Amino acid sequence: MLTEVPQPIYLKDYQPPGFLIDRVDLAFDLGEERAAVHARLTVRRNPDAPPSDGALCLNGEQLELQSIFLDGRPLNPDAYALDEESLQIRGLPDAFVLETRVHIRPQNNSALEGLYKSGGMFCTQCEAEGFRRITYFLDRPDVMSRFSTSVTADRSRYPVLLSNGNPVETEELGDGRHRVTWEDPHPKPCYLFALVAGDLRHIEDTYTTASGRAVALRIYVEPANIDKCDHAMRSLKKAMRWDEERFGREYDLDIYMIVAVNDFNMGAMENKGLNVFNSQYVLARPETATDRDYQNIEGVIAHEYFHNWTGNRITCRDWFQLSLKEGLTVFRDQEFSADMGSRGVKRIEDVRILRAHQFSEDAGPMAHPVRPASYIEINNFYTVTVYNKGAEVIRMQRNLLGAEGFRKGMDLYFRRHDGQAVTTDDFVGCMQDASGRDMGQFQRWYHQAGTPRLGVEGRYDEQARTYTLEVEQNCSETADRSGKEPFDIPLALGLLDTKTGKDLPLTLQGETPAGATRRVLELRQSKETFCFVDIPDRPVPSLLRGFSAPVKVSFDYSDEDLMFLMAHDSDDFNRWDAAQELAQRIILNMVAQYRDGRPMAVPQGVVEAFGTALADDSADKNLLAEVLHLPSESYLGDQMETVDVEGIHGAREAFMNCLAGALKQRLIQLYREHEEQGTYDIQPDSIGRRALKNACLSYLMQLEDPAIHDLCAQQFHRAHNMTDMIAALAALASTDCPQRAQALEAYAEQWKDDTLVMNKWFAVQAMSKLPDVLHQVKALMGHPAFSITNPNKVRSLIGTFCSGNVSGFHAADGSGYDFLAGRVLHIDPLNPQVAARLVRSLARWRRYDPARREMIKLQLQRILEAENLSRDVFEIVSKSLAAA
Ligand code: 7ML
Ligand code: ZN
């Protein structure tokens, strides 16, 4: 906790470690009051270290040192020094064995970093710097060691004792206690260490690798959840097969274990051979989990599995390189999900997240490059920029090198760096060496923050039958002040013939025609010109197909151009994007009309364009549901000079209302045609049917029509799956009708014993559009199913309200801001990571009107004045207040 002003750590100060730790032998003795940890470290000086004072400085926090031995002898007290964060030892030989024994208090660990208790079980979370709360160690990823771990605990309370690698010994100790010893043959950084002890059941399966080795697969859960593991197991096997087929990567141990825990700060963790998961990314049955949950589970299981190669075997040199493993692994899990379901829909979902969260991060006070240059608290850098923009930066390399060149680069990366701790420069170096393409300029994507904007102009020359595109790139200054030189940008595009709606063959001046209708142009200069020949008429350009780079594009499309693209573009993504752009444009116009006291109007042609989209019976239902899913209020706000909270809410509601009213009959028809039939499955077509039906329902529920309220309540009460149940409940929760309270009560009664299902109940109420939502949220904090120490509960109720419910949170009286600041101050001493995530909702205060700006600023100042603020919250709040 904060004693002086926390100081940043800089990438430029990186030094290799002075010592290496080849072996670690850990012995845990788990008790009800405390745990004793014995560590035996086999240490030697690092031959590649720069000259230093020769002292060994081990990280350690909140440890009670009991004893310390050097080469078997107690260490003289004046040979070492202890402070709050470290243990320093002087006068050491070149190689030695250091033994420490410490006590720690997992029962009191509410920060959920290091060793802690979740319900009745012990578990660990060590990334990024949690291992230093377990024992004294060089807690940095470039120190890789062979681990053995013995765990001793009461047998009846903790029948299952797990750690990384393979079990090598089991002992009954006679006094009601038992011990299991594990050995991990693969050297690893300590952030991949894991331990689990508890009363757990598991399901088991086997996987035979491409080379014919059998791997035991186990998923461990609390006994009550044993019937919710099958989907996770199927997902794991699919991920293992996919990584063999697509990347030639096989699993490398005899056993792979996943444990689901209820108290977890993040989504999951890739500990070697022993993944620990937030239970919401493991447990699913049709009655308890939505289609989205099923997809998330498949994606997160894959993500953690893929880390075995991209993260564990090849790891990060330091935490500035976090995107080396995270950007790459997100890219891999996105590709996997695209192959498992619909590629076009997956791309839309991923870009929606990137635009809504990463573009907004880049434009605010927390902007940072994919490879940051400094940080105060590394936990604050597990961001959409490092993860999702990092994945886009990988995808661009594939777009530039082609699938084959990229695969060669990946093969080289695995060959060259297996077993090492490396940098993002090393990764790009492999892409360059394998392809021969100069990637020097491309590196700027890693080092410069900010979202480039492409200003595109098109000129048609009737005489010459040429179409010339001028592309100018710009990137505004960001809060981190990383300079802005032109980026190396792959721009995929096509040109549509206005007569036929078909793609034209693309030939650049001076080329021989090759017939390609989609091309990737490479932009390197701040201004580039491309001249296409043999173009029969003024075409409509389809720019940035598939979102080939994480940039914003401006082109002077007319409404008619957008409707044309919406109807004809051969690129699924751009067809959807044209609809989004059109809806955004109309809604923002309506905001201006509303502000000026004019009536809000939706052009008839726009209603018809959406009607035409809905009329197409052959359309992919998932894609159609995405078209109906309008840009969110917060994304619309990002597009304005100053966010107009009431205007955006009013305009977006009015736009939906207008479509719902005009297209009512068709929406009802589509709803009826896609009602539940037969048994539930998660085939893309079934998911699409539900997505489309529930999108129709949410439009229809805008109409304040009692018959539709009944229809919605009926769907709720008859639903056999959670997708349909929660869609109906969410619509009711925002509607002032008699069916609302009834449904909410019935749900709570049915699901009061299922903690994950109750999280959805909190979230739909936190999203309510009704005026007393904050009052409800406050009341729900007193509900027996709520807990302020459980991150999932806090995110479902408080997080959903503060980041998902724009008009509720930004209520004009500032009550939402006061509420959030109070919760942050309450949670920070318990769990700084969770508090720091929540407080981000206040970070972009300068975007609002003067009255809101002042109120948010006061709350930020109130937080900053608190005593003992964590570094986590301090960094976000101080940067929010500082950036101009
Ligand atoms: C991203 C994770 C963390 C933080 C998981 C924690 C992880 C670090 C961990 C995509 C899919 C699933 C989880 C996450 C995520 C934020 C997000 N190493 O594996 O990256
Ligand atoms: Zn990850």
Residue nearest to atom 18 of ligand 1 (CA): 269
Ligand 1 centroid to residue 382 C-alpha, Å: 8
- Strand pairing category for 274-278 and 255-261: parallel
Ligand 2 centroid to residue 716 C-alpha, Å: 36
Is the Cα dihedral 303, 382, 858, 364 positive or negative? Answer: negative
Rounded Cα distance between 181 and 777, Å, is: 47
Rounded Cα distance between 272 and 567, Å, is: 48
Contact 778, 819 (CB under 8 A): yes
| Residues 459-510: tens digit of each pLDDT | 999 999 999 999 999 999 999 999 899 999 999 999 999 999 999 999 999 9
Which ligand 1 atom is the nearest neighbour of the CA of 326?
Answer: 20
- Collapsing DSSP to helix, strand or coil, 529 comes out as strand
Q: Which of 99, 129, 270, 304 is catalytic?
A: 304
Tell me, what amino acid is at 411? Answer: D
* pLDDT at residue 677 in the model: 79
* Ligand 1, pocket-test mutation among 125, 193, 296, 303, most atoms within 8 A of CB: 303
Band the pLDDT of 884: cuts 50, 70, 90: low
pLDDT average, residue stretch 108-112: 98
pLDDT average, residue stretch 670-674: 97
61 as an active site residue: the answer is no
Rounded Cα distance between 29 and 135, Å, is: 13
- Helices H, strands E: what count in the chain? 29, 31
Judged against a pLDDT cut of 80, whether residue 3 lies above it is answered with no
Which residue in 370, 357, 550, 530 sits closest to 447, CA to CA? 370
Between CA 494 and CA 498, with CA 495 as vertex, the angle to 5 degrees is: 145
Judged against a pLDDT cut of 60, whether residue 208 lies above it is answered with yes
| Residues 722-765: tens digit of each pLDDT | 999 999 999 999 999 999 999 999 999 999 999 999 999 999 99
| Residues 60-106: tens digit of each pLDDT | 999 999 999 999 999 999 999 999 999 999 999 999 999 999 999 99
Residue nearest to atom 11 of ligand 1 (CA): 300
Band the pLDDT of 883: cuts 50, 70, 90: low
pLDDT average, residue stretch 619-642: 98
Torsion of CA 797, 123, 258, 246, to 10 degrees: 80
Residues above pLDDT 70, as percent of the chain: 99
Ligand 1 centroid to residue 667 C-alpha, Å: 38
Residue 753's CB: how many other CB atoms inside 10 A? 9
Residue nearest to atom 7 of ligand 1 (CA): 269
- What are the C-alpha distances in Å from 765 to residues 124, 762, 848? 32, 5, 25
Burial class (CB in 10 A: 0-12, 13-18, 19+), 354: buried
Ligand 1 centroid to residue 544 C-alpha, Å: 28
| Residues 38-63: tens digit of each pLDDT | 999 999 999 999 999 999 999 999 99
* pLDDT at residue 2 in the model: 46
Rounded Cα distance between 127 and 134, Å, is: 12
Residue nearest to atom 12 of ligand 1 (CA): 300
Residue nearest to atom 20 of ligand 1 (CA): 326
Contact 61, 85 (CB under 8 A): yes
CB within 8 Å of 848: residues ≥ 6 apart: 642, 643, 645, 810, 856
Q: Which residues pair with 195 in a beta bridge?
A: 163
DSSP state of 630: P
Which ligand 1 atom is the nearest neighbour of the CA of 299?
Answer: 11
| Residues 282-332: tens digit of each pLDDT | 999 999 999 999 999 999 999 999 999 999 999 999 999 999 999 999 999
Which residue in 364, 372, 264, 395 sits closest to 323, CA to CA? 372
Helix (H) / strand (E) containing 57 = strand 56-59
pTM score, whole prediction? 0.99
* pLDDT at residue 1 in the model: 47
Residues above pLDDT 90, as percent of the chain: 99
Which ligand 1 atom is the nearest neighbour of the CA of 330?
Answer: 10
Residue nearest to atom 9 of ligand 1 (CA): 269
pLDDT average, residue stretch 345-373: 98
pLDDT average, residue stretch 126-153: 99
Rounded Cα distance between 651 and 601, Å, is: 9
Per-residue burial over 390-417, b if 16 or more Cβ lie within 10 Å, else e, is bbbbbbbbbbbbeeebbbbbbebbbeeb
Contact 315, 307 (CB under 8 A): no
* Mean pLDDT score across all residues of the chain: 98
* Ligand 1, pocket-test mutation among 387, 394, 840, most atoms within 8 A of CB: 387
Is the Cα dihedral 546, 552, 556, 559 positive or negative? Answer: positive
Joined together, the tokens standing for residue 457 give: 């102009």
DSSP state of 486: P
Between CA 801 and CA 690, with CA 388 as vertex, the angle to 5 degrees is: 60
Judged against a pLDDT cut of 90, whether residue 678 lies above it is answered with no
pLDDT average, residue stretch 693-721: 98
Rounded Cα distance between 377 and 381, Å, is: 8
Rounded Cα distance between 131 and 59, Å, is: 9
Contact 24, 139 (CB under 8 A): no
Rounded Cα distance between 529 and 472, Å, is: 9
**CB-facing half-sphere around the CA of 646: CA atoms within 13 A:** 9
Ligand 1 proximal residues by C-beta, below 6 Å = 127, 266-270, 300, 303-304, 307, 326, 330, 382, 387
Rounded Cα distance between 629 and 413, Å, is: 39
* pLDDT at residue 4 in the model: 81
